[in-house]
Structure 1
Amino acid sequence: MDTKRTADSIKLDFILETINCKLLETKNPPLNTAEIMLLQGIWDNKTYNIVAEEAGYSYGYLSSVVAPELFRRISDIIGQRVTKKNCRMQLQICLIPQATSKKNVRPQHSEKLSISITQLMSPNFPSGCISLNSPFYIQRSDIEKQVYAEIEKPGALVRIKAPQEMGKTSLMLRVISYAERLDYCTVNLDLQQVDKKILSDDINKFLRWFCANIAYQLNLEPNLDDYWDEALGSKISCRLYFRNYLLQSINSPLLLALDEVNHIFEYPEIAEDFFPLLRSWYEEAKRQPVWQKLRLVVVHSTEIYVPLQLKQSPFNVGLPIQLGSFSLEAVLELAQFYGINWSDGEEAHLLMATTGGHPALVHLAIYHLSREDVTMRQLLETAATSTGIYAYHLRRHQVKLEEEPELAIAVQNLVNTNEPILLEPIIAYKLSSMGLIKSDGNKATLACDLYRQYFGSQQ
């Protein structure tokens, strides 16, 4: 019995991988958590009621929302009508032969797709980006499909912008994963990791750090001195290194993902040289085929405040992606993932009113509510206090404001009015980067009621 169960599980892992590969090939998002849970239940010959009870979903949600969409997507893939009754049979007939072919599946990724009920019911504390194998990632399907399509274009540039903790890095990880499925070379650089001394010196030291790190991630020897020429200058040397060494050494496109680019904004002398360099590579792809191998993904928290000419800036070309707060539907979906049924929507509306749909704040609340650490009433009553679940989040912002009094004054001005007010550009940049404000044209308001309550109590 155990041997049969293991064989069945392996078959299902292969099928899940094959389905997701085919969905991604057609620019569609992979199966979501609810669809995977339902497919696992169907594979084990379980009823909707049993799957709903084990996974913490409502019967109506599974049977009337998840199931029809799941069967439609599988039907599109295999070209046969799929129902609950024939689902397992159709999958075995149509996908098992493909799933066991090395050409069509990469078994090493299957653990990311098969999510156990134990994982779902014992979630980790939500902190930082959402890992690729997490069942608690809220898909932004339209955005993901748009970015996936863009990075397949020669010389593409994608700019992902949002305040802190809005899901930028989580999205970037999925873009990198998609690129790897296309057999691209991938490099992920977090620019927060650059030593302050490197950024405090000249552009030459920074560009050598930049090139060396990319070479290491591509498993290439840096060989910087073979291409660096002081007479030509560091920017030309960097360009030649990229064109004549890095791009010539690989046989597939290179996805270069730069996270926390806004960290460089705070070093204007570096920014004024580095960002025009990125822009020039994007423009070069229109003229030289070798540069078409490069696909840039730039992730940043705010608009750049370093003065650059329009023709030099990489922040007004390429595909712009703006990540916003969660919608009410996304909040309800995340609650479902945690086994919470907010069918009447009242609790979700209350949480939205306090957090403004801020992804990290919403996720933290639903995590604690699912563990029954706190009731919704207790959560809302203590949200803006030192004993509430947001105490660390709020204190972190408070420390930053104490370090920069001009930011604290701006926040207090926002607390004292319900109307949008005009802020100095650099102050607006910093508060937006922290996620404390939302823009209304050239003016700003506090991002959510939680901040109004907390910073109002600090007066």
Structure 2
Amino acid sequence: MPDSEDPKQVNNNDLRNSQFGGGLINADTVNAGRIGGDIYNIHLGQQAASENLTLSQNQRQRSQQERDSLEKAYVLQSQKVASIRTAWVIETDPSRKFQYEQQLQAEEGTFKEVADKLDAVERQLQADNNSALDAGANIYIERPPIEDKCYNAIVQPGALIRVKAPQTMGKTLLLEKILDHARVQEYQTAKLDLKLADADILANLKTFLQWLCIDVADSLDLEPQLDKHWQEVFGLNKNCTRYFQKYLLSKTNTPLVLAIDNFERLFDYPEIFPQFCLLLRGWYEAAKQGDKIGNIWKKLRLVVVHSTESYPSLDTNHSPFNVGLAIELPELSLQQVVELAKQHGLEILEEQGLEELMRMVGGHPYLVQSAIAHLKSQQTTLEELLRLAPTEQGIFSDHLRQQLWHLQHNPKLEAGYKRVVMTDAPVRLDTEVTFKLHSLGLVKLVSNDCVPSCDLYRQYFSTRLG
């Protein structure tokens, strides 16, 4: 939303006697109950501001207002779609049923736009939370021997490194260290952040693969030349492979490191995800060949970063998730948290105090760094910070609210996590629910069962979901 505009309330209607979609559906006739509330002007076509920029206080306030407006619009549109779907199901006249179907498709499209916009604003606010901790928040604490394993692997021909950890565990910082090490070796590097990919880019496999080719070429300061190297007679994966083999990799004698961050974004795109995984696995296997083609692909080094396992079904022979070097970032140990406090210039906080902090938030890097940054600024004492931590007055309130939003907008996740926080024993959940909760950093896995990631989450969510 432009800085000059605030969400403006248009009306506050009781829609019990209203007709939706040009008069096609009356809410009362489908027994939908009350469908009403505040309706807001939502600028659906606008993209969220860059997630790499810290918002000013006024911008953040406007983003929060926009989020609140979108949440209301989301609920209202959801109810509207449900009413139209009910009418469509019970209608027996073929002509009117067809009209309902057309209207339902249109309203579901609007609903998706609202949901996408709301997700973009949430990501923007999350990114701002991450960057607002001060420059010290970008301190990476090494977790040996992980770093040396990555450095040794990236110099191997045809390497594939898979970095996995829940959100805000330091994956991107580790990725940057791997890329820095590669640059010291005078390798070329290209980084693809799938979180920043527009929905239009993910519309279909062809658009996505061509975007990949152009983005990597741009990272290498090369002209795209898709017209020359992309021939419609070939399949999509074959075209992308030819582009890398005959153009990008043949243009250099030095290795190229292609890093793909936030790979899990593709899990929700079934047209793209399995085919792209097959493509990456094919490139990895091509580097094993002993011929001229194999020598070309040996120059490509892949780093894939994701926040959970690949819960969409994949043939093991077509998956990049069971080959190469697997790295799973653990939480910080007490000794590493002590080192982190020292690097923040907070030597005054004794080890006993850090142990108390870790009893609340565990060794989660984002939560620990957030607490240390606030303690360093002397905005609060450790005792006060811990007392208010699981409340709306605490320093983690925005983070907790965003996690709550994810749960409330996915009933399966909400129901599953309620079970987890309301019992002291590990809980067995549906596989996909388990992976998604782990991706959000809300659970730790004990064998195949789930427990809350930290006491902060248990206290906060047992109250909110109870």
Partner of 2:264: 262
- Mapped to 1, the partners of 2:228 and 2:131 lie a distance apart of 39
Partner of 2:219: 217
Determine whether 1:447 maps to 2:453.
yes
1:342 to partner: Cα distance? 6.0
Partner of 1:18: none
CA contact (8 A) 2:133 2:370 kept: no
Deviation per CA, 1:300-327: give whole Å up to 9, x if none.
0000011111110000000000001110
1:142 to partner: Cα distance? 1.7
Number of corresponding residues: 334
- Mapped to 2, the partners of 1:389 and 1:321 lie a distance apart of 31
Q: 2:275 aligns with which of 270, 273, 277?
A: 273
Partner of 2:139: 136
CA contact (8 A) 2:143 2:332 kept: no
TM score, norm. by length of structure 2 = 0.69
CA contact (8 A) 1:160 1:320 kept: yes
TM score, norm. by length of structure 1 = 0.70
1:228 to partner: Cα distance? 1.4
Partner of 1:148: 151
- Mapped to 2, the partners of 1:297 and 1:142 lie a distance apart of 18
3-state secondary structure, aligned to 2:156: coil
Determine whether 1:174 maps to 2:180.
no
- Mapped to 2, the partners of 1:182 and 1:305 lie a distance apart of 35
Given the superposition, is the C-alpha separation of residues 133 and 227 from structure 1 closer, same or farther in structure 2, using an over 3 Å criterion? Answer: farther
Q: 2:420 aligns with which of 414, 423, 430?
A: 414
3-state secondary structure, aligned to 2:191: strand
3-state secondary structure, aligned to 2:316: coil
Deviation per CA, 1:176-205: give whole Å up to 9, x if none.
1111111000001101122212213x2111
Partner of 1:350: 356
Given the superposition, is the C-alpha separation of residues 424 and 342 from structure 1 closer, same or farther in structure 2, using an over 3 Å criterion? Answer: farther
**One-letter amino acid matched to 2:462:** G
3-state secondary structure, aligned to 1:269: coil
Given the superposition, is the C-alpha separation of residues 376 and 344 from structure 1 closer, same or farther in structure 2, using an over 3 Å criterion? Answer: closer
1:341 to partner: Cα distance? 3.0
1:149 to partner: Cα distance? 0.7
CA contact (8 A) 2:213 2:224 kept: yes
Partner of 1:386: 392
CA contact (8 A) 1:130 1:137 kept: no
CA contact (8 A) 1:129 1:167 kept: no
1:130 to partner: Cα distance? 10
Further displaced range: 278-287 or 127-136:
127-136
**One-letter amino acid matched to 1:275:** C
- Mapped to 2, the partners of 1:221 and 1:182 lie a distance apart of 25
Deviation per CA, 1:92-140: give whole Å up to 9, x if none.
xxxxxxxxxxxxxxxxxxxxxxxxxxxxxxxxx9825999998833123
- Mapped to 2, the partners of 1:379 and 1:134 lie a distance apart of 18
Partner of 2:318: 312
3-state secondary structure, aligned to 1:357: coil
CA contact (8 A) 2:133 2:373 kept: no
Determine whether 1:369 maps to 2:375.
yes
Q: What percentage of residue pairs aligned between the two structures are identical? A: 43
CA contact (8 A) 1:384 1:454 kept: yes
3-state secondary structure, aligned to 1:189: strand
Structure 2: gaps (5+ residues)? 1-127
Q: 2:250 aligns with which of 244, 248, 251?
A: 248
- Mapped to 1, the partners of 2:377 and 2:134 lie a distance apart of 21
Given the superposition, is the C-alpha separation of residues 198 and 344 from structure 1 closer, same or farther in structure 2, using an over 3 Å criterion? Answer: closer
**One-letter amino acid matched to 1:414:** V
3-state secondary structure, aligned to 2:166: coil
3-state secondary structure, aligned to 2:260: strand
- Mapped to 2, the partners of 1:171 and 1:243 lie a distance apart of 28
3-state secondary structure, aligned to 2:200: helix
- Mapped to 2, the partners of 1:276 and 1:342 lie a distance apart of 52
CA contact (8 A) 1:158 1:298 kept: yes
Structure with higher RCO (Cα < 8 A, 6+ apart): 1
CA contact (8 A) 1:132 1:174 kept: no
1:334 to partner: Cα distance? 1.1
- Mapped to 2, the partners of 1:322 and 1:129 lie a distance apart of 26
Partner of 1:291: 297
3-state secondary structure, aligned to 1:384: coil
**One-letter amino acid matched to 1:261:** F
Determine whether 1:195 maps to 2:201.
no
3-state secondary structure, aligned to 2:222: coil
- Mapped to 1, the partners of 2:189 and 2:135 lie a distance apart of 16
Given the superposition, is the C-alpha separation of residues 126 and 206 from structure 1 closer, same or farther in structure 2, using an over 3 Å criterion? Answer: closer
CA contact (8 A) 1:126 1:367 kept: no
Q: Say what the alpha-carbon RMSD is for the aligned residues.
A: 1.9
**One-letter amino acid matched to 1:237:** N
- Mapped to 2, the partners of 1:315 and 1:155 lie a distance apart of 15
- Mapped to 1, the partners of 2:137 and 2:333 lie a distance apart of 20
**One-letter amino acid matched to 2:147:** E
CA contact (8 A) 1:126 1:364 kept: no
3-state secondary structure, aligned to 1:422: coil
1:410 to partner: Cα distance? 1.0
**One-letter amino acid matched to 2:236:** S
- Mapped to 1, the partners of 2:133 and 2:278 lie a distance apart of 32
- Mapped to 1, the partners of 2:297 and 2:134 lie a distance apart of 31
Determine whether 1:204 maps to 2:210.
no
Structure 1: gaps (5+ residues)? 1-124
